[in-house]
Structure 1
Amino acid sequence: MIKKILLNKWTKKIAGRLIIFGDYKRLIRPYHVNLMYFNEKIGPEKKPNVGDLLSKVTFHYLLNYKGIKSLKAKRTIRITFIGSVIQFLTADAVVYGSGFLFEYVAEKFGKKKLKLDVRAVRGPLTREKLVEIGYDVPTVYGDPAILLPTFYTPVISAEKKDFLVIPHWKTVDKYIEMGYPVLSPLTDDWQNFINEIASAKLIISSSLHGVIIAEAYGVPAILLDEVEKGNLFKYQDYYYSTGRKEFVRVKTVEEGLSVPAPSLPDLERMKQGLLDAFPKDIFK
């Protein structure tokens, strides 16, 4: 039994260095830059979470924007982009705009003793946790999804919806049954996801990327406080990165419709900081 447990730990450690986030169909390519993102398809319709999908989309847009034509590198490199994925790393990596999912996972992550080359993080809470562990972290903040307007211009409906609800994927049916206009965060069509957000006057969302994309495209967004495990860490991380220690959050859609629409943050300086921090040097 002890031998079996040790073998399992050893094989998991080796697998973590050879594959991308447990997906045996996605091997780490030696002497290439490997994007670390989840490709899991979930829910009854088996579709990816939009944040995971946009990690790949934004990465490739930025490669083109920076004139990078190959993923070849002088050594094997892993890089994180959009999402709360730092705690899932199992080998040394470059961090660009990612964050922790919850505050308490940081201590456990620190025990892995990985080498991180941090260029930017999602927000000051993630930076604080990484600094506590012992990493050098610049004060460059921003989820790379805020860069999407630089690359993609949405198709906006002539008649905008008054509001749109983006709930947690597990509660999409509940809000549809309640008669609200709903946009699922599970999708394989990221352009339509952005088009729908840009075609609304207000977004009420428990999806973090529903909020981020809305604000990036100039649509006011309110956080629907139906968040994972009731933990606001990743949401606070984003809001704090924009200088907002206080932000509107509501328990119901009706409450969201009854409060004034929040002011939009000015993301231009943050966007430029992210563009400047892009790790072009890691590519061959």
Structure 2
Amino acid sequence: MLKKILLNKWTKRLAGRVTIFGQYNRLVKPYQVNLMYFDEKIGPEKKPNVGDLLSKVTFDYLMKYKGVQSLRAKRTTRITFIGSVIQFLTADAVVYGSGFLFEYVAEQFAKKQLKLDIRAVRGPLTRAKLEEIGYSVPKVYGDPAILLPIFYSPTIASQKKDFLVIPHWKTVDKYVQMGYPVLSPLTDDWKNFINEIASAKLIISSSLHGVIIAEAYGVPAILLDEVEKGNLFKYEDYFLSTGRKEFVKVKTVEEGLVIPTPSLPNLETMKDELLNAFPSDIFR
């Protein structure tokens, strides 16, 4: 029994080192920069989560923007990008704009004793947690999705919707049945997702990237407080990165429609700092 347990632990550890987030069909490529992001299709329609999808999209755009022509590297390298993915790492990596999912996962992550080359994190809460467990973290914040307007100009409808609801993918049907205009965070068409957001006057979203993309494209956003495990860590992390200690959140769509529309943050300085922190040096 002990031999079997040890073998399972060894197999799991090996899989963590040679695959991207344990997906056996996605092997880490030697002497290349490997983007660590989830490539899963979920929900009834089997589509990717928009945040995961945009991780690769934004990474590819930034490579071109920075004049990087190849994924080749001097050594096998892993990099995290958009999303709450740090805690899922199982090997040394470069961190760029990522965050923790919940505050309590940091202590568990520390036990892995990984080497991290941290260039930027999503926000000050992630930075504080990483520093608590012994990492050196620059004061550079920003989810890379805020950079999307540099690369993509949306097609905006001539008649904008008064508001658009972006619920958690598990509750999309509920809001559709309630008669609200709904945009699912599960999609394989990221351009249409951005077009729909840019074609609304207000976004009410429990999807963090629904909020981030809305604000990046100049659309006011309100957090629909119907979030995973009721934990606001990743949302607070983002809002604090923009200098907001307080932010608007509502329990219902109706509440979101009657309160004053929140003001937009100025993301320009954060964009510049995030662009300057892009790790061009890790490429050959």
**TM-score between the two structures when normalised by the length of structure 1:** 1.00
Letter of the structure 2 residue corresponding to residue 130 of structure 1:
L
Alignment gaps of 5+ in structure 1:
none
Q: d(CA) in 1 for partners of 2:23 and 2:45?
A: 20
- Alignment match, 2:114: 114
Partners of 1:40 and 1:257 in 2: CA distance: 34
- Distance in 2 between residues matched to 1:96 and 1:70, nearest whole Å: 18
Query: Where do 1:133-152 residues align within 5 Å?
Result: 133-152=133-152
| 1:48-76 deviations in Å (ceiling 9; x for gaps) | 00000000000000000001010000000
CA deviation after TM superposition for structure 1 residue 3, in Å: 1.1
Counterparts of 1:245 and 1:25, CA distance in 2: 42
Provide runs of 4+ in structure 1 moved above 2 Å: none
Q: Which residue of 2 aligns with 1:12?
A: 12
Q: Secondary structure at the match of 1:226?
A: coil
Give a deviation string over 1:153-178, Cα, whole Å, max 9, x none.
00000000000000000000000000
Look up the SS of the partner of 1:269 in the other structure.
helix
- Between the aligned partners of 1:82 and 1:239, the Cα distance in structure 2 is 15
1:27 aligned partner: 27
The one-letter code matched in structure 2 to 1:5 is I
- Give the deviation of 1:273 after TM superposition: 0.4
Q: CA deviation at 1:43?
A: 0.1
Instruction: Provide the C-alpha distance between the structure 2 equivalents of 1:198 and 1:4, rounded to a whole number of angstroms.
Output: 54
* SS class of match (2:223): strand
Match of residue 99 from structure 1: 99
Q: Percent identity?
A: 83
Question: Match of 1:41, SS?
Answer: coil
1:22 shift after superposition:
1.3
Residue-pair matches, total: 284
Letter in structure 1 aligned against 2:49: N
Q: Does 1:71 align with 2:71?
A: yes
**CA drift at 1:102:** 0.1
Deviation at 1:33, TM superposition (A): 0.2
Tell me the equivalent position of 1:167.
167
1:279: Cα distance to partner?
0.1
Q: How well do the aligned residues superpose, as a CA RMSD in angstroms? A: 0.3
CA distance in 2, matches of 1:204, 1:5: 47
Aligned partner of 2:128: which letter?
E
CA distance in 2 between counterparts of 1:205 and 1:150 reads 23
Which residue of the partner structure matches residue 190 of structure 1?
A: 190
Counterpart of 1:31 in 2: which secondary structure? coil
Aligned twin of 1:256: 256
| Amino acid paired to 1:158 | S
- Partner Cα separation in structure 1 for residue 30 and residue 235 of structure 2: 35
Deviation at 1:2, TM superposition (A): 1.4
1: distance between equivalents of 2:280 and 2:16? 25
Aligned to 1:54: 54
Question: Residues 9-53 of structure 1: CA distance to partner in whole angstroms, max 9, x if unpaired?
Answer: 100000000000111111000000000000010000000000000
Which blocks of at least 5 consecutive residues in structure 2 are unaligned? Answer: none
> SS state of the match for residue 154, structure 1?
coil
Specify the code of the residue in structure 2 equivalent to 1:258: V
Q: Report SS of the residue matched to 1:96.
A: strand
Mapped partners of 2:85, 2:233: distance in 1: 13
- Counterpart of 2:268 in structure 1 is 268
1:226 deviates by: 0.2
Deviation at 1:107, TM superposition (A): 0.2
CA distance in structure 1 between the aligned counterparts of 2:47 and 2:104, rounded to whole angstroms: 29
Q: CA deviation at 1:86?
A: 0.1
Q: TM-score, normalised by structure 2?
A: 1.00
Secondary structure of 1:72's counterpart equals coil
Aligned to 2:278: 278
Distance in structure 1 (CA, Å) of the matches to 2:5 and 2:238: 39
Secondary structure of 1:113's counterpart equals coil
TM-superposition CA deviations, 1:131-162 (whole Å, max 9, x none): 00100000000000000000000000000000
